[in-house]
Amino acid sequence: MAINSNNKKNKENPLFKPRYLDAKDKKNAKIAFTLCIVGILAFLFQMLYFVVRYKGFDDWLIVLTFWIVFIMPGYIADAMMVLVGGGGPLDGGKIAKDGRRLFGSGKTKRGFFLGPLIGGIIALIIHGILFWQWENITALIISFTENPDIYYHFYENNAENLIKDFSIFLLGNSSGDTTFLGFLNLIPRVFLCAYGTAFGDLAGSWAKRRKNIASGQPFWIVDQIDFLGGCLLFAGWFVFIPPAIYTIHVLIMLLIITPSLALISNSISFLTGGKSVPW
């Protein structure tokens, strides 16, 4: 009886309900799957490049850490915009000169204003922990450079340069300032990054309306990286972080991983019934 009962529950659970795909759904799902594979292969190729070029897997992990922490406010804000979204549309239903909506009903006031605010606060809490633990983090960084067989990182085991790199991405400053003033100086970048995400996403919606692409329909690549462009633009990539070889590596990793993760998560949600589209 228990087995039959479980089977009945599975049939009633939307996660186990077979999804009917029409020709258009199949085409979009195939495109999404192909882009996922391309993203994963590019991700693996970059990892292999680091292992061969810089003589160690640790170098790739360092750049991955830089990427995660730098873009963190944007990722959290992007998720929060979905979770707290709702209410009236941001464009108030206004129609542009081309006869189409400015942004569409999917962009709401609550999501646009509240999402980045909550995302920025959460990011600041995480950064606060990094400030609090900076002494231990510094000791860990120094231990990295004491083993030349596994670590390289562009500077041939120069601990001083490595600590500076970490302080730029983890603390938002190149001086390693762990005082309260140093934390206050980080706040503008975090919220610029969070609200830049919202504006980037809004710009993507505006472009879709101008191209006469309906809400919910794919605008490939733009849908996956519009928020990233706004995040980097508002955060002032070359203002807060000086141009250098590791900056370029982090930027490349962002452009590879961000759309790949978006497509993978959306495709999984689509196949399990959580979303109606795989993008």
- pLDDT class of 125 with cuts at 50, 70, 90: very high
Average pLDDT over residues 59-87: 85
Look at the block and give the residue holding tokens 């129609």: 95
Neighbour count for residue 237 (Cβ, 10 Å): 17
- pLDDT class of 191 with cuts at 50, 70, 90: very high
Please tell me the predicted confidence (pLDDT) of residue 5: 42
Average pLDDT over residues 246-261: 79
Check: CB of residue 69 under 8 Å from CB of residue 193.
Answer: no
Instruction: Give residue limits of the domains in the chain.
Output: 35-271
Q: Residue 163: pLDDT above 80?
A: yes
Task: Give the whole-number percent of the chain exceeding pLDDT 70.
Answer: 76
State both tokens at 182.
Answer: 């140093």
Please tell me the predicted confidence (pLDDT) of residue 7: 45
Please tell me the predicted confidence (pLDDT) of residue 2: 40
| Gap between the Cα atoms of 158 and 164, Å rounded | 10
Please tell me the predicted confidence (pLDDT) of residue 114: 92
Among 35-39, 68-72, 272-276, the least confident range: 272-276
